[in-house]
Amino acid sequence: MKNRYLTHARKASLLLRPLLPTHYPRPMPSATPPPAVQGGGSQGGPISHHHAEAAATPLGLGAALVAVCAWGLGNTIIAAVPMTGMAIAFYRLGFAAVIYTVILYSRGGRLSSRSFRFGWEGGIAFGADIAAFFVAIHLTSVANATTISALQPLVIIGFAAVMFGERIRARHIICSVIATAGVALVAFGAAQSGKGFGLGDIMAVLALFAWAWYFIASKKARRHLDTFEYMTVMNLVAFIFVIPITLITQDLFRTENHLSWTNSLAILAIVLVPGSGHILMNWAHAHTTLVLTSLITLAMPVIAALSAALFLDQSVSAVQVFGIALVLVALAFVIILDAKTTADATEPAP
Q: Are 301 and 71 in contact (CB under 8 A)?
A: no
By mean pLDDT, which of 12-16, 87-91, 124-128, 230-234 is the weakest? Answer: 12-16
Q: Which tops the pLDDT comparison, 80 or 177?
A: 80
The pLDDT of residue 77 is above 60 = yes
Average pLDDT over the chain, rounded to whole?
78
Using one digit for the tens of pLDDT, what is the confidence trace for 167-194? 667 777 787 778 778 877 876 776 665 5
Which one-letter DSSP state was computed for residue 87? H
Q: Exposed/middle/buried for 291, CB within 10 Å: 0-12, 13-18, 19+?
A: buried
The answer for residues whose C-beta is within 8 angstroms of residue 265's C-beta and 6 or more apart is: none
Q: Are 138 and 96 in contact (CB under 8 A)?
A: no
**Mean pLDDT computed over 144-172:** 73
Q: How many helical (H) and strand (E) elements, i.e. helices and strands, does the chain have?
A: 14, 0
Looking at residue 338, its pLDDT comes to 66
Looking at residue 14, its pLDDT comes to 46
Highest averaged pLDDT of the listed ranges 79-88, 119-128, 140-149, 194-203: 119-128
229 to 129, 277, 316: CA distances (angstroms) = 20, 16, 40
Q: Are 232 and 111 in contact (CB under 8 A)?
A: yes
Rounded CA separation 196/241 (Å): 31
The pLDDT of residue 294 is above 80 = no
b/e per residue 73-95 (b: at least 16 CB within 10 A): bbbbbbbebebbbbbbbbbbbbb
The pLDDT of residue 290 is above 60 = yes
Q: Are 41 and 49 in contact (CB under 8 A)?
A: no
Looking at residue 321, its pLDDT comes to 85
Q: Which tops the pLDDT comparison, 260 or 164?
A: 260
75 to 9, 133, 227, 271, 301: CA distances (angstroms) = 71, 9, 23, 12, 10
Looking at residue 9, its pLDDT comes to 46
Closest CA to 65 of 271, 300, 286: 300
Looking at residue 160, its pLDDT comes to 63
What residue ranges in 47-190 does DSSP mark as E strands?
A: none
| Helix (H/G/I), strand (E/B), else coil: 168 | coil
Looking at residue 341, its pLDDT comes to 67
0.75 surpassed by pTM: no
